């Protein structure tokens, strides 16, 4: 083992043992043509045992794998030596940077901690994978997900979806300015039966101990009444559901905006409202993409793909969600598009997230990309773009 590997492993183990470890990031992959961009490693708790959780960030998806501490540390050493040229260990005391030059020389720097002002206690740093408890969980029982502390047959997919979504929220908070904010305002646009709305409130208030006001917007009045009754029964004082549509509902002082499975341009309405209200985190999972699909007029080689209905549909999905991502980027958001759950439960599993950047963005760079993409696909009108131009 080379000296730098011994030093890296020693520093990492010390940070974990002294409970100062926050996270580790492997970046600058050697294979520049590959799909993997970086790996983020955090401490988590699985079945009451500490694990190192590896989040593999690909260009098109994210994948999470968990390892015991010893195996995880060994894997980090192997990946830095053979696959990545940058490794940074973030701790509450210092940030430790290892960088491999093109000539193979290892440069080490000890930097001031980027998270010195954050309170990373043991409970904060060591996070459980499954964050929604099923024991004595009134809302999960009333919504038909669990009974007597056990997940109903046929509802395991929904329960995994709930936990995966809460895990996504947790990761987005950690990467935003909201991680130090003690009170949050959340809107869930098109909340439906409220599975995820209840879970988000439960997680923010009862797990993270944040003062949160969560509002579900739902057009169907019967679901609004049912959800408000369940919220009252749970004692969730700052969770409420309001009857209304996404397009007609005014949004003010919003920190997190959610819109899952909103049909066609309703997703664009939600993104627009999030952007103009200055929302810090925007999370959408689009449903259908009719507005773009019926406009596709491809005259280049890709026209062979659109001869087949199922492939034309997927092409419309990719074009629409790429345009949405670019519009978020144009307005200062760092975006990701990924598959947030397996498609065995639902095919509506693509998620777009936007986290507001601190730096100023030249929006015309992204608007130009939007115009070029529209020309390529023969798209005359993009609904989200029209909302900003009206």
d(CA 98, CA 158): 41
Q: How high is the pLDDT of residue 123? A: 39
- The distance in angstroms from the start CA to the end CA of the chain is 63
Regions of the chain where pLDDT drops below 70: 1-3, 115-131, 341-348
From residue 255, alpha-carbon distances to 204, 251, 329 in Å are 13, 10, 18
Tell me which architecture the domain covering 133-389 has in CATH: 3-Layer(aba) Sandwich (3.40)
- Is the separation of the CB atoms in 129 and 168 below 8 Å? no
Instruction: Tell me, yes or no, if the pTM score tops 0.75.
Output: no
Query: Hey, what are 129's tokens?
Result: 């994978």
Selection from 68, 72, 89, 103 nearest residue 26 by Cα? 89
Contact 99, 107 (CB under 8 A): yes
Give the three-state DSSP class for 30. Answer: coil
The two tokens of residue 272 are 């627009």
Q: Residue 152 gets which letter from DSSP?
A: P
How far, in Å, CA of 133 to CA of 202, rounded?
Answer: 10
Could you give the 3-state DSSP secondary structure of residue 269? helix
- Please report, for the chain, the start and end positions of each structural domain, with discontinuous segments joined by +: 3-111, 133-389
Question: What per-residue confidence (pLDDT) applies to 18?
Answer: 81
Q: Which helix (H) or strand (E) holds 240?
A: strand 239-243
Q: Tell me if residue 196 falls in helix, strand or coil.
A: helix
Neighbours of 89 (CB within 10 A): 23
Picking from 72, 83, 74, 75, the residue whose alpha carbon sits closest to that of residue 42 is 72
pLDDT for 365: 95
pLDDT at 120: 45
Tokens of 223: 């679901």
Backbone phi and psi for residue 241, each to the nearest 5 degrees, phi listed first: -120, 135
């Amino acid at each position: 083992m080379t000296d730098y590997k011994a030093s890296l492993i020693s520093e990492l183990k010390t940070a974990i043992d002294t409970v100062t470890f926050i996270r580790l990031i492997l970046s600058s992959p050697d294979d520049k043509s590959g799909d993997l961009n970086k790996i983020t490693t955090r401490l988590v708790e699985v079945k009451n045992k500490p694990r190192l959780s590896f989040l593999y960030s690909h260009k098109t998806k994210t994948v999470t794998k968990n390892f015991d501490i010893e195996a995880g540390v060994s894997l980090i050493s192997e990946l830095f030596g053979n696959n990545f040229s940058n490794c940074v260990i973030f701790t509450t005391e210092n940030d430790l940077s290892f960088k491999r030059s093109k000539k193979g020389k290892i440069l080490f720097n000890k930097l001031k901690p980027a998270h010195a002002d954050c309170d990373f206690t043991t409970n904060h740093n060591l996070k459980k994978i499954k964050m929604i408890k099923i024991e004595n969980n009134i809302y999960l029982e009333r919504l038909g997900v669990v009974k007597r502390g056990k997940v109903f047959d046929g509802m395991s997919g929904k329960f995994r979806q709930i936990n995966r979504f809460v895990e996504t929220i947790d990761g987005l908070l950690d990467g935003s300015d909201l991680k130090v904010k003690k009170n949050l305002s959340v809107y869930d646009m098109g909340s439906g039966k409220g599975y995820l709305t209840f879970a988000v409130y439960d997680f923010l208030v009862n797990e993270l101990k944040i003062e949160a006001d969560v509002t579900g917007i739902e057009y169907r009045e019967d679901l609004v009444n049912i959800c408000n009754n369940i919220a009252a029964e749970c004692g969730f004082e700052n969770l409420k559901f309001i009857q209304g549509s996404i397009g007609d509902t005014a949004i003010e002082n919003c920190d997190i905006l959610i819109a899952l499975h909103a049909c066609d341009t309703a997703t664009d309405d939600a993104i627009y409202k999030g952007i103009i209200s200055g929302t810090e985190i925007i999370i959408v999972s689009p449903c259908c993409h009719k507005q773009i699909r019926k406009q596709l007029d491809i005259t280049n080689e890709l026209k062979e793909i659109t001869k087949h209905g199922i492939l034309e549909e997927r092409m419309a999905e990719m074009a629409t969600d790429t345009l949405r991502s670019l519009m978020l980027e144009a307005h200062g958001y760092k975006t990701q598009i990924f598959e947030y759950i397996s498609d065995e439960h639902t095919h509506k599993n693509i998620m777009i997230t936007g986290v507001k950047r601190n730096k100023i963005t030249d929006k015309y760079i992204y608007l130009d990309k939007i115009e070029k993409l529209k020309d390529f696909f023969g798209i005359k009108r993009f609904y989200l773009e029209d909302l900003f131009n009206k």
